[in-house]
Amino acid sequence: MATPLQLEQYREQGYFVAADAVAPDMLAALEAGARRSVEKVRSGAVVVAPERISTGGPGVEPRHILGLIAPEFGEPIFAEYLTSEPVETYVRAVVGGPLRLGWVGLIVLCGPTDYDTGWHRDFGQEERDGSREVELEILGRYRKNLVKWHLALADDACLWLVPGSQRRYRTEREREVLINDPKGAVPNARQIVLQKGQTIFWTGNTIHRGRLPSGAAERLTLTGALVKHEEDQREALDERFRWRLADKVRAGLPARMQCYYDRWRRVQDV
């Protein structure tokens, strides 16, 4: 269960780290399933198809796999994890409930690599270079109904963020890296070092960056999110998840997740 200190850190700094958000036996099963999924993408056994399962293409070296709950992967452990009690308990502590389907994906990196997302906020189609009033309005509204997280299936020191930046307008230097110099230095940036089995719950409204450290052997990290459900809150379908509309996707989910799926489906503008 999230502690008052963790919740305060989330509000003030935009994140907190938990060591107990996944059971040890599930952690082992998730790592094994993740490694099998990577090999299925590398071999071309699971590819981007009309259902738009997001793997990157046939037989490619994957970096971000978004279709882990698709039946083509044959890995039910990922759906079980997404609605597991520890995860749901942490998410409810931040946004309440009821909850609906967000996502579960896998970031895969094998060093050495030039992987570097550059500094950004997860603003989607929102204005990225607005006035103070515009940016503060976005920060006060955007994705306030969800909690996202990273679970390290292997030690992970890739994520950097600027604590507290989700609560304020950017500085002049932050604007420079967000707009013109995405790989430049940022004052007060913090590297998040996760040990295997640790989870960071965080908001993408922080200014952040993903970069594989020099000498790192790999990154094998699950990304996840659950969303607070409101029946009257319509949203445009994210094209990365169009494959979920196939009947076989819902039918292949555990009974508990089918409820989360149904809530997600009802609010999609397809």
pLDDT for position 15: 98
Looking at mean pLDDT, say which of 52-56, 60-64, 172-176, 227-231 comes out highest: 172-176
Name the residue with higher pLDDT: 58 or 76.
76
> Where along the chain do its domains lie?
4-269
Provide the whole-model pTM: 0.94
Phi, psi of 72 (to 5 degrees): -60, -25
98: pLDDT confidence band, cut at 50, 70 and 90? Answer: very high
Tens digit of each residue's pLDDT (9 = 90 or more) over 149-180: 999 999 999 999 999 999 999 999 999 999 99
In a 10 Å sphere around its CB, with 0-12 CB exposed, 13-18 middle and 19+ buried, how is residue 10 labelled?
buried
108: pLDDT confidence band, cut at 50, 70 and 90? Answer: very high
Phi, psi of 105 (to 5 degrees): -135, 175
| Joined tokens for residue 54 | 């997001």
3-state per-residue secondary structure call for the chain: CCCHHHHHHHHHHCEEEECCCCCHHHHHHHHHHHHHHHHHHHHCCCCCCCCCCCCCCCCCCCCEECCCCCHHHCCCHHHHHHCCHHHHHHHHHHHCCCEEEEEEEEEEEECCCCCECCCECCCCCCCCCCCHHHHHHHHHHCCCCEEEEEEECCCECCEEECCCHHHCCCCHHHHHHHHCCCCCCCCCCEECCECCCCEEEECCCCCEEEECCCCCCEEEEEEEEEEECCCCCCEECCHHHHHHHCHHHHHCCCHHHHHHHHHHHHCEEC
Class (C level, CATH) for 4-269: mainly beta
In the block, which residue shows the tokens 């963020």?
A: 161
Mean per-residue pLDDT over the chain, rounded: 94
CA dist., res. 220 & res. 178, Å (int): 26
pLDDT surpassing 90 at residue 217: no
Over range 16-34, report the average pLDDT: 97
Sheet hosting strand 199-202, strand order edge to edge: 15-18, 199-202, 146-152, 218-228, 99-110, 64-65
CA dist., res. 40 & res. 55, Å (int): 10
